[in-house]
Amino acid sequence: MAGLLLAAGSGSRLGRPKALVELGGERLVDRGVRTLTDGGCVPVLAVLGAADTTVPGALTVHNPDWATGMGSSLRAGIDAMPDTVDALLVALADQPLVTAEAVRRLVEAFELGARAAVATYNGNPRNPVMLGREHWSTVYSMAEQDVGARPFLRAYSHLVTAVACDDIASPEDIDTEEDLARLTDMLRGVQPG
């Protein structure tokens, strides 16, 4: 199973590309690649756009259409998948509290026969998302603007295995400086004021 990290955005509300933002001394793109690798994904592809950088441990894919939104990054990642890959696991660079254990749970669901799976938090589907190769063309055709796999997950919910990850991860994302400060505090174990 390959890992696909979407990290192409400019971080318009944050004022800089999220891939390059540091959390705990580590860039979000590097943290995401490490999470996918530690969770059992090989190879790991990182889709970049607004930021052009080297990402150790990952194959980088440049999305020239990154400004159109996440949909084009998902399509660019699918286009770049090696023929030997049977399934991919999609994660977002701006969700740094998704853990390797959450990735492992989705990998295990695949190993037990699931062909599409999604991490859930309090029963709500979020990220990461696992997709077997047979679903890629459908996901590809539905991914546009700032929408990735969500339309597929809704339209084909009967094919998607829900994998509870509440106890080991969080889908909280970083969109603003306040989000970054809050997640930094969470990682340090600081309780909110």
pLDDT per residue over 85-113, tens digit each?
Answer: 999 999 999 999 999 999 999 999 999 99
pTM of the full structure: 0.94
Report pLDDT digits (tens) over 62-91: 999 999 999 999 999 999 999 999 999 999
List Cβ neighbours of 88 (8 Å cut-off, separation of 6 or more).
Answer: 1, 2, 3, 4, 77, 78, 81, 130, 131, 136
Distance CA 76, CA 22 (A): 25
Q: Are 75 and 141 in contact (CB under 8 A)?
A: no
Distance CA 156, CA 16 (A): 35
Q: Are 102 and 146 in contact (CB under 8 A)?
A: no
- Nearest residue to 77 via CA among 65, 109, 35, 67: 65
Q: Are 71 and 147 in contact (CB under 8 A)?
A: yes
Examine the pLDDT at 125 and tell me if it is beyond 90.
yes
Residue 193 is predicted with a pLDDT of 44
- Nearest residue to 43 via CA among 26, 70, 61: 61
- Nearest residue to 41 via CA among 106, 134, 136: 106
